[in-house]
Amino acid sequence: MSTYVSLINWTDEGAKTASNTVDRAEAAQKIVADMGGSLQIYWTMGQFDMVAVSEFPDDETAVAFLAKLTSLGNVRTQTMRAFNGDDVRGIMSRM
């Protein structure tokens, strides 16, 4: 599984319906599970409204989910592919 970290901000529409944020997050978690992945969401203070850590079988599945999520109009995301220590060790061995 590949890991991703997403920095998330509400759109104007998402902010107007912020009281539904937990319900929307739970719906997103179900979609991710149906796509073969997992999703943890944290609400944050500061520059971003939420941070999510997700796992997907591959990059294409991650992109498909993120496209679906943003098409709903409640959030915008900045997503980074994340690597654990074992991943980085393997990557660095190719240098």
Could you tell me which residues are beta bridge partners of residue 71?
Answer: none
Does CATH number 3.30.70.920 belong to domain 2-92? yes
Cα 60 off chain centre by: 14
Give the model confidence (pLDDT) of 28-76 as tens digits.
Answer: 999 999 999 999 999 999 999 999 999 999 999 999 999 999 999 999 9
CA distance 77 to 93: 32
DSSP structural state of residue 20: G
Q: Cα–Cα–Cα angle for 52, 55, 57, nearest 5°?
A: 150
**What ranges do the domains of the chain cover?**
2-92
Is this prediction's pTM over 0.85? yes
Over the range 77-86, which residues count as b (16 or more CB within 10 Å of their CB) and which as e?
A: eebeeeeeee
When pLDDT is averaged across residues 68-90 and rounded to a whole number, the result is: 96
Can you give the pLDDT at residue 40?
A: 98
pLDDT of residue 86: 94
The confidence score (pLDDT) of residue 9 equals: 97
